[in-house]
């Protein structure tokens, strides 16, 4: 790439000042409050918008230069992956199911983030945050597009990749990521940034992208690693924006502190629940594993997050409420989530399977307190049923948590053998939750969550194509007998096994 000349007239700080602050103005035809009507109603008080500082000091001209370089590199890899039949180089076709979940669950969120940051950026009267949001909005659109491009190669060979947007709006488990983002998008601009930039990007996104993408590399999926890390290179900037917005709010007015703390509590828990899906991807869906969910949680939340919250304590901020519950759950949520999908994989657009002996040995070593006691016997029983030709599928719809919308499969913080039930009453109606974290979120803003579009209740109300499972799956656009059911016996498996046996024949 071309290199900027060293003999600059202006330093980084000056350039940043001119290319951000220098671009803004006080409106005169209309008062500022009318032009920017949304940046005060949340109760956040800002006295000096110019105190906003982007630590990277990235300006739009430099932004375009580096982003285009990233794109060139990424598309070279995606192209060569497709040209060289990269899908044949992955460790095992079971792995592809993690990518299906990514495409239907995560990529649509990138697009929503693109919209969300465009909206938030429009509504900040300060130029610094407005430009940071503008860059992030463009980044997120790039992520959605590159992910769809990269994964389109798998769509040529494997099932379940054909209708991500339609599925995202309808399929029961995809209401979990969808409702998460809808919740953030319908909040004000400051809460949106706290939710997405801080709690999700800064505190939790490492858990999604970093170990999972490294796992993709370990499993031979060059295309995913490349879009993953290309996206993640923007993420470092997004994380910095997240920390910046928090410090900005906290430094502007003491009265902002309790509001920020409440948002941190809420969005930590919402993000953490969403990541149960990632936990299961890491522990069950990567044929070769680099680290367990528990290890990733310890490295990225307990260590890195611990340092972060210690740093923020000078503002009177404490670690998010219920982080100690997350610590208690770290050796079970991946297993509980996999159990949910094993139960209902006949209604999903990806396959599940029983871990093999080697995988169980790994899980048992990584989860010495829980795996052999609770989860290994479960898999033994399911294996027995499968051997008798009665692969277990749960044929009754699950109860869902009103807030996170995940089936109520999580257990009591101090008892991994008992389901955790919580409930609240609001205006004569009863609502149910999987945890104290989800209940607290409801109790603070019940009007928001009484509108939850809970897939199970929608099916029972007759709004999802019909009363029979087959009709609902048609309405989801799930190709029955191909996209759903166990990996064993699936068209994906048959195709993969044929490729592998052809390869052996060719080699002998």
Partner 1 sequence: MTRNVSITLQNTDDARPIIEAIEQDNPDAVVHHYPSMVKIDSPGQLTVRQSTVEEKLGRDWDVQELHLSIISLSGNVDEEDEYFTLSWQ
Partner 2 sequence: MPVTAIGKYEFEPLDKRENFHGNIITYWNWEKHLMFCSPVALPFPPDMRFGDVVEKVFPDVYGAHPDFEKVDWSKVKWTLNQEPFTPDFDRSLEENGFDHKCVVRFWTPGLDGYKGSAN
- Cα distance between residue 175 and residue 168, in whole Å: 7
CA distance 196 to 115: 12
431 binds partner 2 (CB under 8 A): yes
Q: Tell me which of partner 2, partner 1, none is bound by residue 392, counting a contact when its beta carbon lies within the kind-specific cut-off of 5 to 8 angstroms.
A: partner 2
Residue 397 partner contact from partner 2, partner 1, none using kind-dependent CB cut-offs of 5 to 8 Å: partner 2
Compute the least distance from the CB of residue 128 to partner 2, in Å: 24
Nearest to 353, CA basis, from 492, 474, 222, 151: 492
Contact residue for partner 2 among 1, 396, 506, 507 (CB under 8 A)? 396
Task: For residue 381, state whether it binds partner 2 (rule: CB under 8 A).
Answer: yes
Q: Which of 58, 151, 279, 282 binds partner 1 (CB under 8 A)?
A: 58
Site string for partner 1, 214-233 (x = CB under 8 A): xx-xx------x---x--xx
Residues 292-311 that bind partner 1 (CB under 8 A): 303-304, 306-308, 310-311
Look at strands 415-419 and 429-433 and give their pairing: unpaired
Judged by CB, which is closer to partner 2: 213, or 278? Answer: 278
Nearer to partner 2, 72 or 373 (CB): 373
What residues contact residue 258 under an 8 Å CB cut-off, 6+ apart?
Answer: none
Question: Which positions from 330 through 349 interact with partner 2, judged by CB under 8 A?
Answer: 336, 339-340, 342-344
Span 161-220, contacts to partner 1 by CB under 8 A = 206, 209-211, 213-215, 217-218
State in angstroms the smallest separation of the CB of 222 from partner 2.
34
Query: Is residue 448 close enough to count as binding partner 2 by CB under 8 A?
Result: yes
Under DSSP, is residue 110 helix (H, G, I), strand (E, B) or coil? helix
Distance CA 474, CA 461 (A): 17
Sign of CA dihedral 149, 100, 466, 406: negative
Please state the closest distance from residue 114 (CB atom) to partner 2, in A: 22
Largest CA distance in the chain: 80
* Residue 315 in contact with partner 2, rule: CB under 8 A: no
Q: Is 407 in the site for partner 2 (CB under 8 A)?
A: yes
Q: Which of residues 7-26 bind partner 1 (CB under 8 A)?
A: 8, 11-13
Place of tokens 């069950």: 284
CA–centroid distance for 446 within its chain: 24
Among 85, 91, 356, 451, binds partner 2 (CB under 8 A): 451
Question: What is the per-residue binding string for partner 2 in 143-182, x denoting contact by CB under 8 A?
Answer: ----------------------------------------
Sign of the four-CA dihedral 121, 124, 127, 132: negative
Burial of 327 (0-12, 13-18, 19+ CB in 10 A): middle
- 255 lies in the site for partner 2, by CB under 8 A: no
Which of 156/314 has CB closer to partner 1? 314
**For the CA atoms of 489, 493, 497, 498, what is the dihedral angle to 10 degrees?**
90
Site membership for partner 2, residue 34 (CB under 8 A) = no
* Spatial contact of 54 and 128, defined as CB atoms under 8 Å apart: yes
CB 431 within 8 A of CB 449: yes
- When CB distances are held under 5 to 8 angstroms depending on the partner's kind, the choice from partner 2, partner 1, none that residue 432 binds is partner 2
> Binding residue for partner 2 (CB under 8 A) from 369, 390, 498, 503?
390
b (16+ CB within 10 A) / e for 149-183: bbbebbeebbbbbebbeebbebbbbbbbbbbbbbb
CA distances from 408 to 55, 141, 340, 475 (A): 42, 33, 9, 24
Helix (H, G, I), strand (E, B) or coil at 129: helix
Stretch that binds partner 1, among 54-62, 87-95, 358-366, 434-442 (CB under 8 A): 54-62
Indicate the helix (H) or strand (E) that contains 365. Answer: helix 357-366
Residue 112: CB minimum distance to partner 2, A: 20
Q: DSSP letter at 397?
A: P
Residues 90/221, Cβ–Cβ less than 8 Å: yes
340 binds, among partner 1, partner 2, none (CB under 5 to 8 A by kind): partner 2
CA gap 450, 363 in Å, rounded? 39
Assess 368 for contact with partner 2 (CB under 8 A): no
Q: Is residue 467 near partner 1 by the rule CB under 8 A? A: no
Chain residues that interact with partner 1, rule: CB under 8 A:
1, 3-6, 8, 11-13, 55-58, 62, 66, 69-70, 73, 206, 209-211, 213-215, 217-218, 225, 229, 232-233, 235-237, 239-240, 243, 290, 303-304, 306-308, 310-311, 314
Chain residues that interact with partner 2, rule: CB under 8 A:
37-38, 41-43, 187-188, 191, 336, 339-340, 342-344, 373-374, 377-378, 380-382, 385, 390, 392, 394-400, 407-409, 411, 417-419, 421, 423, 427, 429-432, 445-448, 450-454, 456-457, 460-462
């Amino acid at each position: 790439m071309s290199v900027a000349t060293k003999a600059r007239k202006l330093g980084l700080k000056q350039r940043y000042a001119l290319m951000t602050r220098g671009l803004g103005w006080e409106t005169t035809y209309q008062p500022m409050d009318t032009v920017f009507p949304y940046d005060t109603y949340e109760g956040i008080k800002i006295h000096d918008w110019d105190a906003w500082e982007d630590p990277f000091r990235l300006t739009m001209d430099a932004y375009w230069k580096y982003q285009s370089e990233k794109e060139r590199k990424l598309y070279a890899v995606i192209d060569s992956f497709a040209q060289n039949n990269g899908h044949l180089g992955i460790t095992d076709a079971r792995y592809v199911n993690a990518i299906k979940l990514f495409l239907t669950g995560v990529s649509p969120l990138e697009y929503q983030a693109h919209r969300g940051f465009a909206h938030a950026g429009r509504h900040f009267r300060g130029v610094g945050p407005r430009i940071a949001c503008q860059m992030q909005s463009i980044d997120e659109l790039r992520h959605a597009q590159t992910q769809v491009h990269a994964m389109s190669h798998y769509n040529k060979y494997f099932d379940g990749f054909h209708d991500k947007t339609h599925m995202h709006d309808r399929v029961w488990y995809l209401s979990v990521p969808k409702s998460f983002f809808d919740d953030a998008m319908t909040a004000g601009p400051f809460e949106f940034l706290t939710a997405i930039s801080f709690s999700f990007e800064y505190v939790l996104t490492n858990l999604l992208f970093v170990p999972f993408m490294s796992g993709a590399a370990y499993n031979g999926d060059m295309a995913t690693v490349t879009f993953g890390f290309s996206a993640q290179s923007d993420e470092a900037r997004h994380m910095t924006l997240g920390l910046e917005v928090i410090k900005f709010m906290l430094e502007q007015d003491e009265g902002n502190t309790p509001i920020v703390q409440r948002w941190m509590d809420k969005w930590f828990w919402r993000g953490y629940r969403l990541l149960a899906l990632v936990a299961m991807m890491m522990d069950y869906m990567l044929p070769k594993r680099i680290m367990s969910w528990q290890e990733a949680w310890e490295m990225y939340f307990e260590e890195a997050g611990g340092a972060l919250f210690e740093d923020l304590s000078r503002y009177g901020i404490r670690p998010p409420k219920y982080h100690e519950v997350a610590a208690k759950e770290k050796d079970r949520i991946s297993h509980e989530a996999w159990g949910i999908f094993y139960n209902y994989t006949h209604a999903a657009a990806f396959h599940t399977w029983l871990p093999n002996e080697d995988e169980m040995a790994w899980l048992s070593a990584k989860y010495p307190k829980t795996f052999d006691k609770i989860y290994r016997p479960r898999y033994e029983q399911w294996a027995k049923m499968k051997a008798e030709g009665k692969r277990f599928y749960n044929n009754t719809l699950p109860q869902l948590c009103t807030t996170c919308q995940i089936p109520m499969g999580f257990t009591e913080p101090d008892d991994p053998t008992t389901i955790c039930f919580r409930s609240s009453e609001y205006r004569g109606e009863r609502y149910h939750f999987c945890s104290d974290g989800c209940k607290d979120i409801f109790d603070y803003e019940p009007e928001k969550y009484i509108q939850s579009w809970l897939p199970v209740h929608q099916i029972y109300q007759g709004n999802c194509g019909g009363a029979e499972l087959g009709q609902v799956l048609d309405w989801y656009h799930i190709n029955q007998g191909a996209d759903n059911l166990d990996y064993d016996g699936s068209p994906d498996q048959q195709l993969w096994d044929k490729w592998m046996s052809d390869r052996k024949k060719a080699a002998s």
